[in-house]
Amino acid sequence: MLRVRQRSEQARLLDDRDRAAALELCAADPVANVFVESRIRAFGLDPGRLGAQMWGFEQGGRLISLCYGGANLVPVQATGPAIGAFADRALRQGRRCSSIVGDSAVVTELWGYLRPHWGPARDVRAAQPLMAIDGPSPVAPDPDVRRVRMDEIDVLLPASIAMFTEEVGISPLNGDGGASYRARVAELVRSGRAFARFEDGRVVFKAEVGAATPQACQVQGVWVAPDRRGRGLAAPGMAAVVELARASISPVVSLYVNDFNTPGRATYRRAGFREVGEFMSVLF
């Protein structure tokens, strides 16, 4: 366990009175902080509504760092002292998250504190380029990529399950038989943030916008059917997602990708994305 910190070095639990200060902090890097900012905008900082705790670290009476503590542990603008304080708080309450995600330098330091007590992780993805595009794609968008309709959820779901299992290494059907995962997919469809190309009654390309703010959105779940890979679907599909998302969701579209996913990184570069940072994920 880390040493007991002085009160001035401790993280505190935030509430709705801290909303403006927390959003101001997220605005320092709207692309990197899109997930946490989107949660604050949607649910505020009350733990019951947020479904998580938000910890804050102050210096001179001013909020300078955040950490979202829910299904994911996500530090925001975390300084060295803040990282230690967040680790203290996380160790005191025990691991409740299934992953730690964020800026690679910050997560490396945070995981260094937590690993002796929480390790070993199921997987550590130490380098995940954060990529973004803030204008039209140089690739012509696939005209057949469109928003998924509510009556198409059962067609989309097998592709979503395949993507999740391939990417994360475990099935989203574990635990509750997939009920919570289906509900999440349905919510993305309902909100107009799920996109796909359908052929012969099945999905051959898909992607979703998992988090969005007025400044930026983050694409997740990009997937091409295995038998259609290498046939030029991904770059035009991503160009279509960029066009649709920029028109109706946020002006900047982002994503992060594993550094070892060479084909994926090449596709995103071809579609106009450029690297703007680096994430790291620790998976349990």
Query: What is the bridge-based pairing of β-strands 12-13 and 99-103?
Result: unpaired
Query: What is the bridge-based pairing of β-strands 62-69 and 123-133?
Result: unpaired
Ranges of residues in the chain whose predicted pLDDT is under 70: 1-8
* CATH number for the domain formed by residue range(s) 7-119: 3.40.630.30
Instruction: Write the secondary structure of 44-103 as one string of H (helix), E (strand) and C (coil).
Output: CCCHHHHCCEEEEEEECCEEEEEEEECCEEEEECCCHHHHHHHHHHHHHHCCCCCEEEEE
**Ranges of each domain in the chain:** 7-119, 133-278
Q: Assess contact for 195 and 149: CB atoms under 8 A.
A: no
pLDDT at 8: 52
Query: What is the bridge-based pairing of β-strands 62-69 and 72-76?
Result: antiparallel
Q: Cα(107)–Cα(232) distance, rounded to whole angstroms?
A: 35
Structure tokens at 216: 């930026």
pLDDT at 2: 55
Q: What is the CA radius of gyration of the chain?
A: 19
Q: Assess contact for 196 and 145: CB atoms under 8 A.
A: yes
pLDDT at 12: 96
pLDDT at 147: 98
pLDDT at 9: 79
Q: Assess contact for 172 and 178: CB atoms under 8 A.
A: yes
CATH homologous superfamily for the domain 133-278: Gcn5-related N-acetyltransferase (GNAT) (3.40.630.30)
Query: What is the bridge-based pairing of β-strands 274-283 and 123-133?
Result: antiparallel
CA distances from 183 to 17, 98, 117, 179 (A): 31, 18, 33, 6
Do 7-119 and 133-278 share a fold? yes
Q: Cα(188)–Cα(207) distance, rounded to whole angstroms?
A: 10
pLDDT at 3: 54
Q: What is the pLDDT of residues 175-199, one digit of tens each?
A: 788 899 999 999 999 999 999 999 9
Q: What is the pLDDT of residues 230-249, one digit of tens each?
A: 999 999 999 999 999 999 99
Q: Assess contact for 189 and 156: CB atoms under 8 A.
A: yes
% of the chain at pLDDT higher than 90 = 92
Instruction: Write the secondary structure of the chain as one string of H (helix), E (strand) and C (coil).
Output: CCCCCCHHHCCEECCHHHHHHHHHHHCCCCCCCHHHHHHHHHHCCCHHHHCCEEEEEEECCEEEEEEEECCEEEEECCCHHHHHHHHHHHHHHCCCCCEEEEEHHHHHHHHHHHHHHHCCCCEEEEEEEEEEECCCCCCCCCCCCEECCHHHHHHHHHHHHHHHHHHHCCCCCCCCCCHHHHHHHHHHHHCCCEEEEEECCEEEEEEEEEEECCCEEEEEEEEECHHHCCCCCHHHHHHHHHHHHHHHCCCEEEEECCCCCHHHHHHHHHCCCEEEEEEEEEEC
pLDDT at 178: 84
